[in-house]
Amino acid sequence: MIVDDINKAISTGSVIEIKYTKSDGSSSVRKLSDVEYSREYGESYISAFCHMRQERRTFKINRITSVVFLSGDEEVCDTPVQQEPINHESSAAATTYPFNPNKRIFNLYGEDYNF
């Protein structure tokens, strides 16, 4: 399961290779290290150093279609590790925002939207 593999990568500090599908349907394979979990606006993400882009990147967990554990450039055996699972309901990174239908929404590009 993808979430179990991500938990293992976080707890062991493993280098992983993921297959990631973007919102437009295109896929890429990324080699990641220093994986961290975050949750924002009800969505789960990982943040990691992407070896392809040579910078820290963020990936939506539900768009990750496979995880392979690497040792350097070689695949390693996926052995079970006993660990605490990610609790998506009570993560310290989780933030809840109150909904106010009269509040203005600010776009990252600077435009205001009033619905």
Distance CA(113)–CA(115), nearest Å, equals: 6
Residue 71 confidence (pLDDT)? 72
Asked whether the beta carbons of 67 and 78 are under 8 A apart, the reply is: no
Is 74 in a helix, a strand, or coil?
Answer: strand
Residues 74 and 81: their CA atoms lie apart, in Å, by 20
The partner residues of 39 in beta bridges, in order of sequence, read 44
Q: What is the pLDDT of residues 19-42, one digit of tens each?
A: 999 999 999 999 999 999 999 888
Q: Which of 19, 33, 14 is nearest to 77 (CA)?
A: 14
Q: Among candidates 65, 64, 69, 54, which has minimal Cα distance to 10?
A: 69
- Count other Cβ atoms within 10 Å, centred on residue 4: 15
What pTM value is reported for the model? 0.61
Which domains, and CATH codes, for the chain?
2-75 (2.30.30.520)
User: How far apart are alpha carbons 14 and 99 in whole angstroms?
Assistant: 38
Q: Is the model's pLDDT at 73 over the cut of 90?
A: no
